[in-house]
Structure 1
Amino acid sequence: MNLFNSSYYKVQKTFLTICGGWPYQTNYNYFVLRTIFLTGIMIFMFLPETIMIMRNFKDIDLITAILPLFCGSIMGFSKAIVLFSNVNEVKILLEELQKDWRNFSLIESELLLIKNYAKRGKQITVMYAGSIYAGGTCFYLMSLAAPVADLIKPLNESRHRVFLYPGDFYVPNDNHFLLILTMEWYGLMCAGHVILTLDTFYITLLLHSCGTFAVLSQRLEKLEITNFQINKDQLFQENSNIAQDKKVYFYLTECIKLHLRNIRFTERLNSTFSKAFFIDLSFGVLVASASAVKFVLSINEPNQRIMYGGIYLMQSIRIFCNSLPGQLLINHSNRVKLAAYQSKWYELPERSKKLLLILMMRSEKPNEFVVGKLFAMNIQLFSVINRTCFSYCTALLSLQKN
C-alpha cells in the first residue's frame, strides 16, 4: 500500500477514492460516493437532457446543441458502471503493479525504467485533470457573464442568459438561473471526473506495461555468455560449463515468466475496461461531430462558439491521449522481439537457444489493447475516428441546411 502513497500514484489514488473506485475503501464510503456520482450524472445531466430531447424531437438545431453533453453523460455513466462493477479486477491490477515494483527494485537500472514510465503517467494525469476541471469551470464562469454584467452595468432589459446545456428541470429558468446552472455544472463535473479517472487509470497501467516490456528488452539486450562466467579456479572445466548453462537457462526462464506475466496483465486490463472504451469511442465520435457543427453554426454567438470549440478540442485530445498509450504498448511489445534478435544468441548453449526461440515466437504477436474485440487502440484508430467525425459533421451540416 505504501507504493500508492508515493508521488507516482498518489494523484491516481485520490481520483479513484473521490468517486468510490478505490478498492481498499470501506463499504460505507463505496455506497455514499458512488451514489453521489451516479445520481449526479443521472439526475442533473442525463434525465433533463433526455426530457428536452423527447419534447423537441423535431428541432434539429436544439438536438445538435444537446447531443455533445448528452453523449458525455452516457459516456460518464457507462464508465462509472464499469469501474464500480470491476472493483475486484482493479484490486488485482493494483496488486500486480505493486508486485512488479517489488521485483524490479532489486536492480537499480530496472527500477529507474519503471519510475520513468510511472512519472510519465503522473504527468499525463495532472495535465488531463487540469484541462477537464479548468474547462468545466470556464464554461460555468462564461454562463455567469450575463447576470454579472447585469449587476455591474444594467440595461433596460436583462441580457440573454446561456446555460451549459439545454435541459428541462421542471422549474422556471429565469427565476432559478443560478440554481439550474449550478446543478448542470455539478452533473457535468461528476461525469467529467469519472471519465477522467478511468482514462488516466488506463493510461497509467498501460504505461506501466510499456515499462515492463522495456525492462524485458533491456534484459535481452544484455544477454551475453560472458555475463555468466563461473570461477574456474574453484570448479573443474566440465562442471563450470554445466553451471554456466544452468545460469543462462535460469536467466531466460525468468525473462519468459516476466513476458508471460506482462501479457496476462494487459489481457486483464483489456477484459476489464474494453467495453467502457468501446462505448466511449462510439459516443465520442458523436460528441466531436455535433460540437464541430455547433461551432460552425454559432457565428453570431461567441460564447457558444468558444464552448463548443472547447468541447471539440477536449474530445480530440482525449481520443489522442487514449490512443497514444495503446500505440506505445504495441511498439514496446515489438521491441522485445528485436532485442532478442540483437542479443548474442548464437553464443548460448543449445537448450538455452531453444528457450529463447519460444520467447521470440510469442513476441511475434504484438500486445494490444483491443476495444470491444473489434479494433486495437492506436494512432491509426485516432486517424480513422477523426475522418469519421468529419464525415458525420458534413452530414449534420447538410441536414441543418435542409
Structure 2
Amino acid sequence: MELNMDYYYDTNRKLLSFLGQWPYQKPKEKRFFFILILTVLANVMVPQIAQFFKCEDSQCIYQTLPPYMLAIMVLVKIFTFYFNRQQIKVLTDHLFIDWDMFVNEDEREIMKRYAETGRWLTLIYASYVYISTMFFATTAFVPRILDVLFPLNTSRSAMLPYPAHYFVNEEQYFYYIFCHMIFSAALGMTGLIAHDCMLFVYIEHVCGLFAVIGFRFEHILYKQDNPKNMIIKHSVDVYSQHIMFSISAHRRVLQFAVLLESTFTISFAVQVFIVTVGMSISLVQFSMHLHDLTEAMRYLVFIIAQMFHLFCFSFQGQKLINHSLETCDKIYNSSWYKIPVNAQRLLLIVMRRSIIVSTLTAGKIYVFSLESFTTILQTSMSYFTVLSSVNE
C-alpha cells in the first residue's frame, strides 16, 4: 500500500506555512508570513507594555504579567524555528526519508501507528488551545450580557480579554479593541500550536524509530522480509550483517534524538521559566478573585492551560525516555542465545549504549519527564505561597 505522507503531516505543514517556518516554502512566501506574524505579535505586546507604565500598584502588574509572558513565549517559539531553520529542515527531512529504512510491512505499520498518534496529538492540542483561548477572551463579553439580562442603573465596566492600554477610551472603542485582541490572540496561538505540534510529531517519529529498532532485535532470528516466518538457519556472516544493519539504524535514531534535543534545549529553558513564574502569578490572581466568579474562571482556565502545556511536554519527554530504554530490554528478551557468539558481542554494544537514555532537556539541566512535571508544580506552588504572603 502506498504511503500518503500528506495524511500524517499536512496539518503541521499548514500551521508552519502560515508562520513562514515550513522548510520547503518558497523564500518570498516565508518572508511574508514571518513578517506578518511578527507584526501581529508587536501589536499585542505594545499595548501590554503601555499597560505596565499605566499600572500604579502590584495588583495591576500581576494582572498584566501572565498574558505578556505568554506573548513572549510565543515569540520565543517562533524564533526557535527561525534561528534553527537548518536543524529544523534536517529534522523534517527525517520525517520523509527515514521510511526508506523499513524493509517489511510490519515495520511500516509500526511507523504508521506512531505517525497517526502524532497527527491526533496535533488535532487535539490545537483544538484545546484554540477553545481555551476563545473561552478566556469571550468572557470579556460577560458584563455586556449581564447588562442585557440583568440591567443596572449604570452600565457595568467593560472587561478586556487581557490587560492592555490602547491610548483611547476603552468604553467607546470596546468592540474595536475586542476584535483586535481576538484576532491577535488567535494568530499568536497559531504560532504556539505550530511549534508545539511539530515538536510532538518529531518526538513521535523518533519513538517510532526506537520501536522499529526494538522490533528488529526482538526478531533477530527471523527473515527480514517477514518476521512472522519460522526461524531459519543463517551463517555467522549473515547474522552479523543483520545485527550491524540494525546497529547502524540505531545510531541514526540516536543522532536524530540528539539533534532534536540540542535544537530546542535553550528555548525550553526560557519556556520552563515563563511557565513556572506565570503559573505562580496566575494562582495569586485566582486566589484574589474568588469572590468574582467570572474573573476566577478566567484565571482558572489560564492556569489549566499552562499546566496542560507543560504536561504535554513532560509526557512526550517521558515517552522518549521509555522508548530509548526499551531497546535494551527487547534485545534481552530476544533469542540472542541462539545466535553465534561473535554476533552476540555486537548486541552488547547496543545494550551498553541503550542504558544511556535519550532525553529532552531545558538548558541541559531540567529533563522533561512526569517526575519533573510534579517538581515544576511544587515550585510554582512555592512561589505562589511567597507572592501571597507578600500581598497580604
Q: Identify which of 199, 204, 213 aligns with 1:207.
A: 204
Change in 2 beyond 3 A, CA 1:150/1:52: same
CA distance in 1, matches of 2:189, 2:95: 26
The residue number in structure 1 matching 2:270 is 279
Q: Identify which of 254, 262, 266 aligns with 1:263.
A: 254
SS at match of 2:7: coil
In the superposition, the TM-score normalised over structure 2's length comes to 0.93
Moved more, 369-378 or 319-328: 369-378
Shift of 1:151: 5.8
Query: Superposed, which structure 2 residues align to 1:3-402 within 5 Å?
Result: 6-44=6-44, 46-56=45-55, 59-104=57-102, 106-150=103-147, 155-224=152-221, 227-229=231-233, 244-401=235-392
Change in 2 beyond 3 A, CA 1:292/1:179: same
Change in 2 beyond 3 A, CA 1:10/1:295: same
2:136, 2:301 within 8 Å by CA — same for their partners in 1? no
SS at match of 1:7: helix
User: Which amino acid in structure 1 is aligned with residue 287 of structure 2?
Assistant: V
User: Which amino acid in structure 2 is aligned with residue 11 of structure 1?
Assistant: T
CA distance in 2, matches of 1:35, 1:294: 34
2:137, 2:162 within 8 Å by CA — same for their partners in 1? no
CA distance in 1, matches of 2:349, 2:65: 51
User: Which amino acid in structure 2 is aligned with residue 9 of structure 1?
Assistant: Y
CA distance in 1, matches of 2:18, 2:148: 36
Q: Could you report, residue by residue, the CA deviation over 1:315-336 in whole angstroms, capped at 9, with x for unpaired residues?
A: 1011111111111111111110
User: Which amino acid in structure 1 is aligned with residue 271 of structure 2?
Assistant: D
CA distance in 2, matches of 1:149, 1:316: 31
Larger Rg belongs to: 1
Shift of 1:228: 4.5
CA distance in 1, matches of 2:8, 2:118: 8
Shift of 1:381: 1.2
Specify every segment of 5 or more residues in structure 1 that has no aligned partner in the other structure, as ranges.
231-243
Percentage identity across paired residues of the two chains: 27
User: Which amino acid in structure 2 is aligned with residue 279 of structure 1?
Assistant: V
2:74, 2:189 within 8 Å by CA — same for their partners in 1? yes
CA distance in 2, matches of 1:311, 1:62: 17
Specify every segment of 5 or more residues in structure 2 that has no aligned partner in the other structure, as ranges.
223-229
1:4, 1:13 within 8 Å by CA — same for their partners in 2? no
The residue number in structure 2 matching 1:234 is none
User: Which amino acid in structure 2 is aligned with residue 75 of structure 1?
Assistant: M
1:370, 1:377 within 8 Å by CA — same for their partners in 2? yes
CA distance in 1, matches of 2:217, 2:47: 57
1:220, 1:339 within 8 Å by CA — same for their partners in 2? yes
SS at match of 2:263: helix
What is the CA RMSD across the aligned residues, in angstroms? 1.9
Shift of 1:345: 2.0
User: Which amino acid in structure 1 is aligned with residue 6 of structure 2?
Assistant: S
Shift of 1:54: 3.2
Shift of 1:254: 1.1
CA distance in 2, matches of 1:9, 1:156: 55
1:323, 1:378 within 8 Å by CA — same for their partners in 2? yes
Shift of 1:351: 2.2
Shift of 1:148: 4.6
CA distance in 2, matches of 1:272, 1:396: 34
The residue number in structure 1 matching 2:225 is none
CA distance in 2, matches of 1:222, 1:180: 62
Shift of 1:24: 1.1
User: Which amino acid in structure 1 is aligned with residue 157 of structure 2?
Assistant: H
Shift of 1:211: 1.0
Shift of 1:155: 4.3
CA distance in 1, matches of 2:122, 2:197: 5
User: Which amino acid in structure 1 is aligned with residue 233 of structure 2?
Assistant: Q
Q: Could you report, residue by residue, the CA deviation over 1:160-197 in whole angstroms, capped at 9, with x for unpaired residues?
A: 21111111222221211112222222332233221111
Change in 2 beyond 3 A, CA 1:374/1:142: same
Size of the aligned set, in residue pairs, is 384
